[in-house]
Amino acid sequence: MQNTINDKTWEIGGKTLSSRLLIGSALYPSPANMEDAIKQSQAQIVTVALRRQSAGENAGGNFWNIIKDLNIHVLPNTAGCHSAKEAITTAHMAREVFDTNWIKLEVIGDQYNLQPDPFETLKAAEILIKEGFEVFPYTTDDLVVAKRLADVGCKIIMPWGSMIGSGKGLSNPDNLLAIRKQFPELQLIVDAGIGKPSHATQAMELGYDGILLNSAIALALDPVQMAEAFRYAIEAGRLGYEAGVMQERQFASPSTPTIGTPFWHQFD
C-alpha cells in the first residue's frame, strides 16, 4: 500500500513508523556518540549484532543500556554467520534476549566481498518463517533470489546497493528497480553500500521503502551531523518518488515554451 504525500507513516513487520531510516549500532567512536547519532537521525529501528556484542559482557553493559534507553525497535541480526544452522541458532538467541520475533537474516557466503549466500539464506529464511519470525533477509540485487525469498514467505526483502562497507552507492540501480516493480506489495529496504546522502535519495526515488545503513554515519568525521543529513536525504527521496520524479529524455526540451511573439516586441 502506497502512502500519500501528506501521510509520512508506513508499516513494516507489524509496526507503524514515521522514519524510513534503519540505523546500525557498530563502529562509532564511542557509545555516547552512537547514542547522539541515533537520536539525531530520528530512526525508529536500530540493528544490533548479537554475535559481535555479547549481552552478558560487563564491558558491553553501557552499550546495552543505551540501546534499551533509546526506546526504539531493535532489529537483531545474524552478522558473522556463514551457514543456515548458525543463523537459525543466533535468531533463537536473539528472540530470547530482545523479546522480539524480528530478525535481520545475514548469512555470508564470501569473506572477500561479504556477499550473502543465497542458498543458505533461503534455507534459513524458510525455517525461521515457519517458526514465527519476521525475517528481514539481506541479499544481493538478484531478482531471482528475491523471488525465491518471497516464495517462502518473506514480506520484507533487503537487497544491497553494493558491497557492505564499500560506500559505492547503487552499483545496479536497474536491478533494484526491477525488484521494486516485480514486488510492489513487499517492503523493500536497501541494505549495504550506501556511502553518502545522495545515494540514499537515489534509492528512495526508485520507490524503496527505507534504507538500512551504518558505516556511512558511524565512520563520518561528524556522525551526528551525518545522521541528520541522511535523515533529510531519505525524506527528500521518498517525497520525490511520491510526487513523481521527472523522467529522463533523450533530447533537450525548453523549460520556457516559445509560443507566439516575445512580449517585448509589443513595445517596438
Reading the block at residue 54, the C-alpha cell is: 555479547
Please state, in angstroms and as integers, the Cα–Cα distance from residue 97 to each residue in 89, 101, 102, 137, 248, following that order: 13, 11, 12, 20, 49
Q: Contact, 60 vs 67, CB < 8 A?
A: no
At residue 105, the 3 state secondary structure works out as strand
Is 104 one of the catalytic residues? yes
Contacts of 241-248 with C-beta under 8 Å, sequence gap 24+, read 241/204, 241/205, 241/206, 241/207, 242/2, 242/3, 242/4, 242/5, 243/5, 245/205
Q: Which runs of E-coded beta strand occur in 33-116?
A: 45-49, 73-77, 102-105
Q: Give the residue among 193, 199, 140, 203 at the shortest CA–CA distance from 165.
A: 193
From 15, 39, 68, 104, active-site residue: 104
Helix axes 31-41, 223-243, angle to 10 degrees: 20
Residues annotated as catalytic (active site), given as ranges: 104
